[in-house]
Structure 1
Amino acid sequence: MDPKSQSQSLTPPKIHAAYNLIKPYIHRTPLLTNQTLNAIASTPQTPEARKGTSDENQAPAAPTIRFFFKCENQQRIGAFKARGAFHALLRLIEDRGEEEVQRRGVVTHSSGNHAQALALAAHTLQIPAYIVMPRISTASKIAGTMAYATKVVFSGSTSTEREAVVAQVQAETDAILVPPYDDFNVICGQGTTALELEEQYLDLVAQNPQLNVHGQRGSGLDAVITPIGGGGLNAGVATFFSNKRTKVFGAEPSFEGADDCRRGLEQGERVTSVKSLTIGDGLRTPVGRLNWEVISDKNKVEGVFAVTEEQIKAAMRLVLERVKVVVEPSAVVGLAVCLFNEDFRRMVEREGGEEGWDIGIVFSGGNTTVEAIAKLFG
């Protein structure tokens, strides 16, 4: 089935079905709020913060924002990827039969989070797993993958280099490919993040109406923003919210062209190659073909915004110091957009009016090390 036809089959009921299947294998991760970050986001940026940007000579935006942080950094293996990996593997067993999948095993390529996730899922379901990882992957991600995988094979850092090694592994083992993001069942699994997020938000504001910018009239999140690398999380979240009032946005690093999805939307064509060493190492891949079909649909994703490395670091520092949770750089690009991207902030100010917006932020992962954090902020 071609990507356009597949994207039309991605519907909210498919997300619900995925959740029912994977519930025994995943954590229901916390939803946190933080008054300090609400205040920072709702305060106009200083002239110093805007110096050297295209917004330097414009009046700063003054939106009202309340954050709701979905902590997938506390998911199994420390990232939302466990959702897609378990769902894809369980559906593969349904389709091919347990005997064939156990005999052949599975293979994938990933910078780390999907690698760990598929290794864990395969180990749990007693299936051999061959994982291809870039040599420059974060040490903690390599260690986490090695703890569960049958074999880890190292490669170069680009998608093309990874895929070439995957082909070699398949030739040697006959393992079945479970793609890291460009896959129907992976997308459905990642979309369960949104299902939990909405349920937890509605429960939270029902108990504490003061947390909601709309008070008693709150009927759902105004927006959700997720990081975009390959696009599986964003496509899944957008699928879940496709028949609701909640707007979905994507966030990317701008460093060395890692904002391929944003650029592709601007050009009207998917960018097929990314060569970036952004600190958001989970976001160094181009958006997948199926994911692109969802994300490029304006009825599902409102837009994609980009932020700099320094803005990512500033957002990460705030999360570490104010929210008191450990996140990797990739996890905070959505928060960085809300804090620093004046185009996004002006949109919230304009559309949110005096009340403002309740915004769900997905902290996509927390797989970093003390050494990596020290290197970023030393």
Structure 2
Amino acid sequence: MIERVPSAEGVLAAAKRIASLVTRTPLLPLDWQGRRFWVKPECLQQSGSFKLRGASNRLMQLSDAERARGVVAFSSGNHAQGVAMAAQRLGIAATIVMPADAPAVKVEGTRNSGAEIVFFDRETESREAIGARLAAEQGATLVPSFDDVDVIEGQGTIGVETGEQLGKAPPLVIVPCGGGGLSGGIALALPESRIVPVEPAGWDDMTRSLETGRIVPVEEPPPPTLCDALQTKLVSPLTFGALRDAGARGLAVSEAEVEEAMRFAFRNLRIVAEPGGAVALAALISGRVDAPDGSVIVVSGGNVDPALYARIVGR
């Protein structure tokens, strides 16, 4: 039996499937250092991040029997909210495994969509193990945050939209990267574009994996980071394969560069970018990537605690 892998055709099908459930986010023009760039603000997406796309694509394809048994997901917040919102709309019960230190705004958003939350200790417990146990106990479908073909193809619909809005493939797309579902999906949707996945410093396992040609984990112990949405210690063969086949090369940005990008987004674009959502913009404005005219930068989410955001933007 041939194992299914995400494909460009699957991304196109996902775009049609979820069109009525997600917001077609705009492309915001950004004139910077003599060049015109385009920012794709998924912070304006329903649920506050791109994760609604993959969750909707996965849940819409469940059978009636699977819907009746519910779904389980594990997430620090954005995937949690995406799954919870998609499940609520489709009348599916959702249980979400979240770290005890998840940002309050993400916990609240998940709970407001009707999901049951099970907390865990990020340092001593495995969210994957807890999620698998709960799914087995409930007979529910486990919905991974990135290690899933339908989820990856759903996230890639951002690339479909971008190509349609520009009328062509951009030369370069800079994308935040945790597990690689978003960057891998976009790579499938825009095969003519160069893809640059961006991670927080010390959490750059996708960057190092692409450099070495094999999947390597985050080096222990990883440093603390404000980018809670990107704290993935090991990427998926599905996402790694999509980015490797696209010839993608990643890079990492510092915490200071992330904070500056959040301030830049507020001042210049009038959008709220959470730390993990701002890493691609950080790569651009810090000069870590020389982006040609017409390049696209994805701001992947805006779910940030107000107090933290006020401190960062007010500096």
The two structures have a TM-score, normalised by structure 1, of 0.78
| CA deviation vs aligned residue, 1:221-251 (integer Å, no higher than 9, x gap) | 1111111101100010000112x3x211111
Percent sequence identity is 37
How far the C-alpha of 1:281 sits from its partner, in A, is: 1.0
Per-residue CA deviation, residues 47-76 of structure 1 (Å, 9 max, x unaligned), is xxxxxxxxxxxxxxxxxx421011110111
Q: Which residue of 2 aligns with 1:295?
A: 243
Tell whether the 8 Å contact from 2:49 to 2:301 is kept in structure 1 after alignment: yes
Q: Is residue 308 of structure 2 the alignment partner of residue 368 of structure 1? A: no
Q: Distance in 2 between matches of 1:364 and 1:104?
A: 30
Taking only aligned residues, the RMSD between alpha carbons, in angstroms, comes to 1.9
Partner-residue secondary structure (3-state), 1:24 = coil
Distance across 2 between alignment mates of 1:174 and 1:66: 50
Instruction: Give, as a single letter, the amino acid of the residue that structure 1 aligns with 2:260.
Output: A
What is the Cα deviation at residue 164 of structure 1?
Answer: 2.0
Equivalent residue, structure 1, for 2:224: 277
- Are the counterparts in 2 of residues 69 and 363 from structure 1 also a CA contact under 8 Å? yes
Q: CA deviation at 1:158?
A: 6.2
Q: Which runs of 5 or more structure 1 residues have no equivalent in the other structure?
A: 43-64, 203-218, 349-355
Query: How much has 1:156 moved relative to structure 2?
Result: 2.3
What secondary structure is seen at the aligned counterpart in 1 of 2:267?
Answer: helix
Matched, 1:327 2:273: yes
Counterpart AA for 1:305: L
Counterpart residue number, 1:225: 174
**What is aligned with 2:83?**
118
Q: 2:10 aligns with which of 11, 14, 17?
A: 14
1:370, CA displacement in angstroms?
1.8
Structure 1 CA distance, aligned partners of 2:272 and 2:182?
20
The answer to whether the 8 A contact 1:101-1:127 is kept is: no
State the match for 2:131 in structure 1. 166
Change over 3 Å in CA distance of 1:302–1:280 after alignment to 2 = same
Instruction: Flag structure 2 segments of 5+ consecutive residues without an equivalent.
Output: none
Q: Distance in 2 between matches of 1:296 and 1:149?
A: 38
Report the 3-state secondary structure (helix = DSSP H, G, I; strand = E; otherwise coil) of the residue aligned with 2:97.
strand
1:82-101 to structure 2, matched below 5 A, reads 82-91=52-61, 93=62, 97-98=63-64, 100-101=65-66
Cα distance in 2 between the residues matched to 1:265 and 1:303 = 6
3-state secondary structure, aligned to 1:25? coil
Q: Which of 172, 176, 188 lines up with 2:141 in the alignment?
A: 176
Give the equivalent residue in structure 1 for 2:207: 262
Q: In structure 2, what is the Cα distance between the partners aligned to 1:240 and 1:123?
A: 28
1:34 corresponds to which residue? 30
Bigger shift: residues 172-181 or 81-90: 172-181
CA contact (8 A) 2:210 2:240 kept: no
Amino acid at match of 1:79: S
SS in 2 for 1:252: strand
Shift of 1:81: 0.4
